[in-house]
Amino acid sequence: MEIEHNSAKHTFEIRDEEGTLAGHADYRPLGEDSVDFDHTVIDPAFRGQGLSTPLIQAALDEARAQGWQVKASCSAVAHFIDKNPEYRELLG
């Protein structure tokens, strides 16, 4: 699986080895240094493979690298942050 930040579409995409889109984590910019992760989807054909975890982790790692504060409107992102306290400092 490969994860890519598509900044033009405000999303992080996870694709399989053949380039098929398996899922995405979308965000809305809230200002220059703040985003709201508001939607995460894994395609039904790829569910049950644990893909949301690396997708959300990559998205939050990029948020950290960019210096963004994060709002987690998406329940999957909020749940990930709850289970991984090292990301709580991103919440703004």
Q: Per-residue pLDDT averaged across 64-82, rounded?
A: 98
The pLDDT > 70 percentage for the chain reads 100
Q: Where are the domains of the chain?
A: 2-90
Q: Could you tell me where the beta strands, DSSP code E, fall in 7-52?
A: 11-15, 21-31, 34-42
**Strands 69-72, 34-42: pairing kind:** parallel
- The CATH code of domain 2-90 reads 3.40.630.30
Average pLDDT, the chain: 97
Reported residue count of the chain is 92
User: 33: Cβ–Cβ under 8 A, 6 or more apart, which residues?
Assistant: 66, 67, 68, 69
- Read off the pTM: 0.95
